[in-house]
Amino acid sequence: MGAITIEELHLENEGLTKTCPIEVTFKILGKRWTVQILREMFRGVTQFSRFHENIKGINPRMLSLRLRELQRSGMVKRRIVSEYPLRAEYELTELGRHVEKVLVEAAIYSMRYIPKVVFRDGKPRTP
């Protein structure tokens, strides 16, 4: 399967789409803290307290809000692990695991083409 071009994504000219598919993805992933939460999940973090520890600057209220949004989008599933004390864990769904490829490609792009922002030495890298 070859690469898809922007022209092929531009299906609204044919009356098939309601909105731009790229825009839809970034409406979900572009919210502050969402990518950091997903990154932690890709690393195996499942507990609220661990997300809060690992993501510097996020407050518990915002973490809860973003986790609920990810649940509504179908990328994350919440499950109760113990009843007392109540403990929930979060896990990626199949849909959430698919977004990892998108975020890895975004990271590669930044590492290669925007290294001055990404790396202390400002030198581009290719994983």
Pick from 22-31, 45-54, 88-97: least confident: 22-31
Assign domain 18-118 to its CATH architecture. Answer: Orthogonal Bundle (1.10)
Structure tokens at 108: 């590669």
Residue pair 48/79 in contact by the 8 Å Cβ criterion: no
The yes-or-no verdict on residue 2 having pLDDT over 70 is no
- pLDDT tens per residue across span 60-95: 999 999 999 999 999 999 999 887 888 899 999 999
Q: Is the pLDDT of residue 50 over 80?
A: yes
Cα distances from 97 to residues 17, 61, 63, 102, in angstroms, run 25, 25, 20, 10
pLDDT, position 108: 96
Cα–Cα distances in angstroms (integers) from residue 95 to residues 61, 71, 76, 100, 125, in the given order:
25, 11, 8, 9, 29
